Chains A and B, each alone.
Chain A
Amino acid sequence: MKAIEFQDVSFSYNSEEVLSDLNLEIGRGEFVAILGPNGAGKSTMLKLTLGLLRPKKGTVKVLGFNAYEERDKFVDKVGYLPQREEIHLEAPLTISQVVKLPMLAKGKKVGEESVRKALKIVGLENISDKLFSELSGGQQQKVLLARALLSDPEILLLDEPFNGVDVLSQEKIVEVLAEMSSRGKTIVAVVHNINPLLHNIDRVVLLNRRVVAVGKPNEVFSEENIVKAYGTSIPIVVCEEGYTHPLYGDYHG
């Protein structure tokens, strides 16, 4: 059984189609990056996977279940890191409160020990009483990662985990993801810049309203595919270890 399957999936919020005829299979234990310009439908794809949106056509399956209709059967096995812009900082929550909140909201008890363990994985166990709103972007992202780790999910979906994140935090996040991947977890990360992940991922999906290309990074990053996805060409270099790196400026979405 695949971790995630998109079968002829089309989706639109209103009249304009945002995703067309998506076909994609992600195997269990795979580490996949989704890449594409702003408005390509990347976040929408993650939301379809979470069963938050109903496909106009086709089926999305997660661990064999229909994502939209049988959401409650797999929801506990999926961790999700929303785009950080979707988080609101009005309430003065401490780091450990942020980590616990989902469980508490579901009426479950959370042990201090498991919170400490999750925070230790991302290296924040010593500042768990700091206010989330006062952290740097990188620290906030690590807290959200720790929060997702608390329930030890089978599948982890991340929406732009490196946006506004400093290099050290970025390395820490990559390290944690690589470790999860080596333990057989399925990871799907939407990113603007593939380079931090390039050495760890199994496959890349180039998306622009439809799947432009999918495969190993070296196969996907061709001049032709990049022009198809971004509408402009981007310099490509091959590093010493033989990986193809697309070199876009550090641009933010």
Chain B
Amino acid sequence: MDELILRALIASLLISLNASVAGTLTVFRRASFLVAGSAHSALAGVALALFLNSIGINAHYFLLALTAALFFALLSAKAARKGDVNVGIATAFSLSMALAAIFISLTRNSASNAWQFLFGDILLLTVDDFAIVTISTAFVLLAVSFFYHKFLFISFDPSGAEAMCLNVYLYDFMLIALISVSVVTALKAVGAILVFSIFIAPSSTARILGRSLSSVFVISFILALSSLYLGLLTSFFFSIPSGAVAAAIASLVYFAVSWKQ
């Protein structure tokens, strides 16, 4: 099999793991906006990296994207603490889009590079990209399994958690940060605009269908993976971007299921 295709198949699997774990925790935390927010701030980081590279300064897109997304996570956690999440999120969101637009316009020959990060292309992952996805997925899964019950508790009953001396702000920030890492992991493969559908639609669907914690994780994994594979399959036969097809499928499944409820 073509190496690029094999890579895409395995990367889809890894991204589905991210989508299931981070997406489900996002839904439990009632923070879907967060995925969109960190994806778009990551985009500002990517745009800065592309710009720096174009003027001869070496910068890796993943590091800058991660930094930008974590900075966004910090702002969100702080805003959540003050109780006014929406204004903070919305402002940070549009600020990062503005920065992304500025950096992209400053960058020569940027259009196609920027396009990949906007809509993703799982068939264009380099060996480096693939390594990043693998390591970062392992990191997210490990960290989440370590703090799993704390994340659940602060999402279910923040007052009760606080009353028990759990450092709710710290764990909330860690949760938001891990979700951001997960989003950045999927960024190049799925794209900043479509990552929302791959992360949130399957988990929200699974939240409706699942009758237990584990079933929500499993269902969202299966939904994310089938969407991504169907996307690949479609792009193989027709020349349509696979990420867009995957995102469309995941979103339509969500609407179909929530319609029936």
A interface residue numbers (CB < 8 A to B): 50, 52, 71-72, 75, 78, 80, 82-83, 86-88, 90-94, 97-98, 101-102, 104-106, 131
Contact = CB atoms under 8 A, between A and B. Distances in A.
B30 A88 contact: yes
A88 B213 contact: no
B interface, size bucket: 20 to 34
B149 A86 contact: no
A117 B15 CA distance: 42
A78 B160 CA distance: 11
Nearest to B25: A91
B212 A94 contact: yes
B255 interface: no
Interface in B146-167: 149-150, 152-166
B216 interface: yes
Contacts of B150: 105
Contacts of B260: none
A91 B155 contact: yes
B216 A105 contact: no
A160 to B, nearest CB: 12
Nearest to A107: B149
Contact of A86 (B30, B158, B211, B215): B158
Nearest to B24: A91
Contact of B165 (A75, A92, A93, A98): A75
Nearest to A151: B164
Contacts of B27: 90
Interface centre among B30, B155, B157 (most CB of A within 10 A): B157
Contact of A105 (B166, B207, B213, B215): B166
Contacts of B166: 105-106
A144 B215 CA distance: 24
Interface centre among B27, B155, B159, B212 (most CB of A within 10 A): B159
B28 interface: yes
B103 to A, nearest CB: 36
Given A87-B156, A101-B152, A75 B216 contact: no
16 contacts: A72-B165, A75-B164, A75-B165, A80-B160, A80-B164, A82-B157, A87-B156, A90-B29, A91-B156, A97-B213, A101-B152, A101-B153, A102-B153, A102-B164, A105-B149, A106-B164
Contacts of A75: 163-165
Nearest to A74: B165
A193 B150 CA distance: 34
A82 B163 contact: yes
A189 B212 CA distance: 33
B76 to A, nearest CB: 17
A105 B28 CA distance: 16
Nearest to B147: A105
Interface centre among B149, B158, B161, B166 (most CB of A within 10 A): B149
B153 A92 contact: no
Contacts of A98: 156
A91 B165 contact: no
B160 A82 contact: yes
Nearest to B163: A80
A42 to B, nearest CB: 14
A172 B165 CA distance: 29
A71 B163 CA distance: 9
B88 interface: no
Given A82-B157, A98-B156, A101-B152, A91 B213 contact: yes
A91 B164 contact: no
Contacts of B163: 50, 52, 75, 78, 80, 82
Nearest to A101: B153
A32 B40 CA distance: 52
A71 B166 CA distance: 11
A92 B154 CA distance: 14
B241 interface: no
A71 B164 CA distance: 9
Interface centre among B28, B150, B164 (most CB of A within 10 A): B164
Closest 9 CB pairs of A and B: A105-B153, A82-B159, A104-B149, A80-B163, A91-B28, A105-B149, A86-B159, A75-B165, A105-B150
B156 A93 contact: yes
B211 A105 contact: no
Contacts of B212: 92, 94
A229 to B, nearest CB: 25
A93 B211 contact: no
A92 B210 contact: yes
A92 B157 contact: no
Nearest to A134: B211
Contacts of A90: 27-30, 155, 207
A88 B215 CA distance: 19
